[in-house]
Structure formats: structure tokens, C-alpha cells
Structure 1
């Protein structure tokens, strides 16, 4: 059976989408119905899923997380397929949206307010966006070296925010900032794929009509993180199925589903 290794953050792990993946570290938030599991089932692949909520590019390459080594250690050179969904935590994408959606008074609460304000710091955000392209390129290059015979697919993030219009409780300016971060992350991911001889699965492009405020969302809105439902501002079960469709279509050489 061909070997498939899935690398990435919570956008691939699928926290809150039941059931949980058997044997996964608790804090990974890894679902047995995330897109790597669905792809492996449909293509008959032997899956090694090391996706982990909160992962950054450093956690892919060098830094362990609770109960798990750096994700790159899962590669042994026998892989036929590797998927990578990473980068959002490097730029604080979802934390930015969470912070922006909190009531204004929270920003005045001692200690907590400083953390919230820090997530919204434009200078820190711009520095992170400037660095993430280089980090993603390092990921692509290292994966290609460690898995030389594999097809390596960067799978970018599903669209969270509407392409235009409101996304309550976010302000108009915060929505614009979120869109900018998402656009820059998608651009950096695509450029890293080209620069390192990897492929791109443009989940962001295909999900424009399925943002969290749409009639048929593939991602969730704001809310309390509860263990029996998909995490806020993350893929839902429909979103994971849609991403799996895109990956399977690309691997099989077929056209992906229409974004509508």
C-alpha cells in the first residue's frame, strides 16, 4: 500500500470534528474525518497523519509539540504522497480574528488585554507576513529532500471571511485586515509551491462561496470552543470533505469541484 504523510496545523487536523483520531495526542485535536483521513480512504493509501493544532512551520521542521516530535520526522523517504497545510499560525491568522471579534472592553482587562492587543499589532503582523514566505519555502524544500519520490501538495486554507460585505462581530476594518492576511498567506503558499517544485491545491480559491457567513459554509464562525463541535473559525465536516475532493481530484488527474 502506498504511503501518505499529512503535515500541518489545525486547518488540516480538524479539531472538534468527531470522532477523534485514535491514538492522536490530546492537544493535536486530530479528527478521524479530517481531509487526510478522507483522502487516504478514497485512494487506498497508508496514512501517517501528524497534523497538530497550533502547529507552525517550525513545528513541521524542528520544534516538537506536546506528545509529538517535529512533524518532518514522520518522513522516511518511502512516501508516495505528502500534503502540507501550514503557515496560518506563523502569522497569527485565526488569533487575529478571535481578538478582533472580542468586545472592546476585553482589551482593557489586565494581562488579557495586553495579549489581545498584541494579536492586533499591525507592525508584528506585517513582520510575520514578510517572513512566512521564506518559512513555507523552507518547508517545501525540506519535504522534497526527505521524500524525494513523493508528490508534495501544499493545500492552502479554506476561506473564512466573505470576499465582500460584513462578517459580524468583526468591524469593517478588521474584516479588511483579515482578508489581507488570508490573501497574503495564500500568495506565499502558492509561491513556495512553485519555488520548491511542489504542487498547490487552492482550497482558498475553491471555497470563496463557502465562507463561514455563507448559506453553505465550509468553515465555522465565532463561538465557544466545545469538544463536540468543530472549532470556531476552522473547517467543518463539509469543508473537510470538500478539501478531500480537491486533493483526490488533483492526485487522480481529474478536475476539482466547482467553487459554487
Structure 2
């Protein structure tokens, strides 16, 4: 079989989408129905899935995460496909949205206030593009025979002009800016490093949590028996798998 390695954060792992992946660390939040597994099944690939909830570009490249080695160490050069979904935790995208769901008093706590600070989010965006470029370059170097595909994040908010439930509009505006910036940085990193790009964000614009056919989940509590808030649901994972498989010339 051809070897496929999936790298990334919770947006690829699929926390809360039942069932859990057999043998995966529970803290990884890795679903047996995440897009890497669906792609591997559709294309007949031998999957090594090291996606991990909470991962940053540093966890992918150089830092251990809860005792687990950097994800890139999984690559041995025999891969024919590598997918990468990363960067959101670097810029505080989902934590920002989670902070927006808190009562006003809690939003003034220092840690939450930092997440909601436009200047700090802008600084984080300025730092994520070179980090993503480093990821792309390192993966290309370690897996020279592989198709390397960045897969950006599914849409988590309705378009401008539409309400996002009860989320404060100023925070929603900031989160949209962060999401747009992350998409631009991911696309630029893919182009700069010779990687491919699957634009899950563009494909899912009409499938936000408040839409008729959502691919992602809106506000709520992160309970283990259902998809986590501001994360893909099963339909979203299936949709991303279809996009990735089609980009590889197959069908999910």
C-alpha cells in the first residue's frame, strides 16, 4: 500500500465525532471518521494519522505535545501523500471564539482579554505565515516523493452581515479577520513551498454552523460524545475528505 501521513490539529483530528480512532491517545481527540481516515479508505492508502487536538506549528515541527514527539518525525520519506491542517492554534482562532461565548465578566479576565485583543491577533497572524512556510518546507524535505497538501480550516462563522447567534458582533468581526488571514497565510505558504492547497474554507462558506446544512458546530460545551464547539461535524469531515480525494484524482 501507499503510505499516507496526516499531520495537524483538531480540525483534522475531529474531536467528539464518534467513534474514537482505535489506539489513539484520548487527549488527541482523533476520530475514526475524520477526513484522513475517509481519504485513506477512498484512495486505498495506508494511513498514519498523528493529528492531535491543540497542536500548533511548533508541535508539528519541533516540540513534544503531552509527551508525544513532534508530528513531523513520523515522516520517513516513503510517503506518497501528506496532508497538513495547522495554524489555527497559533493565531488563537478557536480559543477566540470560545472566549466570545463567555459572560462579559469572564471576557475581562487577562487570558481571555488577550485572545480578544485585535492587536495581539494581528501580531499572531504576522507570525503564522513564516511558521506555515517552515512546515511546508520541512515536510517537502522529509517526503520528497509525496504529494503534500495543505488543507485549510472549514468555515466557522456566517458571512458579514449575518448574525452569528448571540456572539458579540465585535468579536465575530475579529474572528472573521483572523479566519481570512489564516486562509491567506496558508495559501501563501503552500505556494511558496511548492505544496498543493485544498480550500476547505472557501468550499464551506455556505455550510457554517447557523446554515441549513452545517459542516461545523457552533457554540456549546466541549462534551466527549458530540463534536466539539467550533469544530467540524461528521458531514464536514466527509466534505473535506471529498475535496482531498478529488484533488488526488479519486473520490471519497
Asked whether the 8 Å contact 1:6–1:49 carries over to 2, the reply is yes
For residues 65-95 of structure 1, the C-alpha deviation after alignment (integer angstroms, 9 at most, x for no partner) is: 1242100000000000000000000000000
For residues 184-221 of structure 1, the C-alpha deviation after alignment (integer angstroms, 9 at most, x for no partner) is: 00000000000000000000000000011111000001
Residue aligning to 2:117 = 121
Asked whether the 8 Å contact 2:42–2:250 carries over to 1, the reply is no
**Residue 196 (structure 1) aligned with residue 198 (structure 2):** no
What is the TM-score when the length of structure 1 is the normalising length? 0.94
Give, in whole Å, the separation in 2 of the partners of 1:234 and 1:175. Answer: 16
Give, in whole Å, the separation in 1 of the partners of 2:96 and 2:221. Answer: 16
Q: How far did residue 253 of structure 1 move?
A: 6.6
* Structure 2: tracts of 5 or more residues without a match: none
**Residue 173 (structure 1) aligned with residue 165 (structure 2):** no
Residue aligning to 1:85 = 85
Give the ranges of 4+ consecutive aligned residues of structure 1 lying more than 2 Å apart after TM superposition.
none
Alignment length, in residue pairs? 251
Secondary structure of 2:5's counterpart equals strand
User: Of 151, 157, 162, which residue of structure 2 is paired with 1:161?
Assistant: 157
Residue aligning to 1:226 = 223
**Residue 251 (structure 1) aligned with residue 252 (structure 2):** no
Asked whether the 8 Å contact 1:17–1:229 carries over to 2, the reply is yes
How do residues 39-118 of structure 1 correspond to structure 2 at under 5 angstroms?
39-108=39-108, 113-118=109-114
Asked whether the 8 Å contact 1:10–1:51 carries over to 2, the reply is yes
Secondary structure of 2:149's counterpart equals strand
Asked whether the 8 Å contact 1:25–1:67 carries over to 2, the reply is no
Give, in whole Å, the separation in 1 of the partners of 2:84 and 2:178. Answer: 19
What is the TM-score when the length of structure 2 is the normalising length? 0.97
RMSD after superposition: 1.2
Secondary structure of 1:105's counterpart equals helix
For residues 47-70 of structure 1, the C-alpha deviation after alignment (integer angstroms, 9 at most, x for no partner) is: 000000000000000011124210
